[in-house]
Amino acid sequence: MVRQLPAAQRTTALAAGVLVAATAVLVAQLLPSPSVVATAGERSVRLTTLGRYFDARDVALLAGAACAVGVSATLLLCEATVRTDGVVDDPTGTDDARSSDDLLDARRREWDDTADRLADTEATVYQVVLDADGVVAQSDIVDRTDLSKATVSRTLDSLETRDLVERKRRGMGNTVLLT
């Protein structure tokens, strides 16, 4: 019995194959193949290396291969972005919203357990991020607590070293995310 891959995996495999094949065509076409020409003068022979000239067929082949590389690479990058953004392909083809809610509830219980094991300022900062559904501006943490900017920054450093939160630069400030 032959097992078929899900459609998303087939598309990814095809895009990867096209990317490799089109890149090989580009490399083969663009590798220099110089010609050496000898010209005889009155007293000497002069060797000159000429570059390769492309005809219309070569240009069409290069343009097609470059388009194939661009499309397949874009498809692969978009697929990688979707996968790293938390969307997971369901090989069965079913998308159960209840299991998503269960996963969210499990994460929230895990975060609550983590908050119970933290020191005072860490617990305060972590709870603010947790109350904001896991995403909050660093300046909002300062506004919502009686902690100074420096204390919030040092506390976030400590929470980051424990892999509990992550700071992302957004304009002039940071956004804090639960991990």
Map the chain to HEC letters.
Answer: CCCCCCHHHHHHHHHHHHHHHHHHHHHHHHCCCCEEEEEECCCCEEEEEECCCCCHHHHHHHHHHHHHHHHHHHHHHHHHHHHHCCCCCCCCCCCCHHHHHHHHHHHHHHHHHHHHCCCHHHHHHHHHHHHCCCEEEHHHHHHHCCCCHHHHHHHHHHHHHCCCEEEEEECCEEEEEEC
Neighbours of 63 (CB within 10 A): 10
pLDDT at 75: 81
pLDDT band with cut points at 50, 70 and 90 for residue 104: low
Question: CB–CB of 95/45 below 8 Å?
Answer: no
Q: What is the DSSP letter of 124?
A: H
Distances from the Cα of 31 to the Cα of 35, 58, 103, angstroms: 13, 12, 52
| 3-class DSSP state of 179 | coil
Q: What is the pTM of this model?
A: 0.42
155, pLDDT greater than 80? yes
Segment 80-90 shows an average pLDDT of: 53
pLDDT of residue 130 exceeding 70: yes
Note the pLDDT of residue 93: 46
CA distance 63 to 159: 50
Q: By the 8 A CB rule, do 159 and 165 touch?
A: yes
For residue range 46-63, what is the model confidence (pLDDT) as tens digits?
A: 766 666 667 788 888 888
φ, ψ at 45 (rounded to 5°): -110, 135
Question: Is pLDDT at 29 greater than 80 in this prediction?
Answer: no
- pLDDT of the residue at 35: 64
Q: How far apart are CA 64 and CA 7, in angstroms?
A: 25
